[in-house]
Each structure stands twice: as C-alpha cells, then as structure tokens.
Amino acid sequence: MKKIIIIATLLSLSQIVFGQNNFQEKFAEYCGSKDTVSQRKLLEDWTKLNPNDPELFTSYFNYYFLLSKQEMIGFDSKPNSEESLQLMDL
C-alpha cells in the first residue's frame, strides 16, 4: 500500500514538473508564425505568473520591436485609401 502511495505521489509530482508552462518556447513559436494576438495573450499570462522573469522583459522588447517593424510612416501629397493624417498650415 505504501508503494502505491509513493508511486502515485511521484507520478503527480512529475506531472507538475514537466507540465510547467515554458513561455519562452511558446513565444518563439508564435514569433515564427507571426501570431501577434497569441504573443500578446501569452505575455499577459506570463506577467501574471512570473512578473520578474528576465526572459519576460526581452520577450516584451521583441514583441514591440516586431510590431514597430510592421508600422509604416510616410509623407505623401495624395492620401491613399488607408487611414491617414493630414498636415495643415494654420
């Protein structure tokens, strides 16, 4: 009976150890697929569970850096069909 209890305890502990979230690997996977929605959700979950993780800070940097590469700012005399701002003299 003691052996069964010990084996059950060890099995449950191994599930906890091996079942931990590896946020860094998931984040790299989402970066590879360019899934920014999943990246953002993962970063929020990661912040709740482990806010002082150094890898969290570098992942936030990478997230915002990759987002900044997607934004395009330009000046043109004709507005296009996309969202735009207009500069005017007052």
Sorted by where each begins, the domain ranges of the chain are 22-69
Report the C-alpha gap between 35 and 41 in whole angstroms.
10
Please write the tens of the pLDDT for every residue from 11-49: 665 555 554 558 888 999 998 888 889 999 999 999 998
Is-contact 73 53, C-beta < 8 A? no
As separate numbers, helices (DSSP H) first and strands (DSSP E) second, the chain gives 4, 0
Measured between alpha carbons, how far apart are the two ends of the chain, in Å?
87
46 Cβ contact list (under 8 Å, min separation 6): 21, 23, 27, 53, 56, 59
* pTM beyond 0.75: no
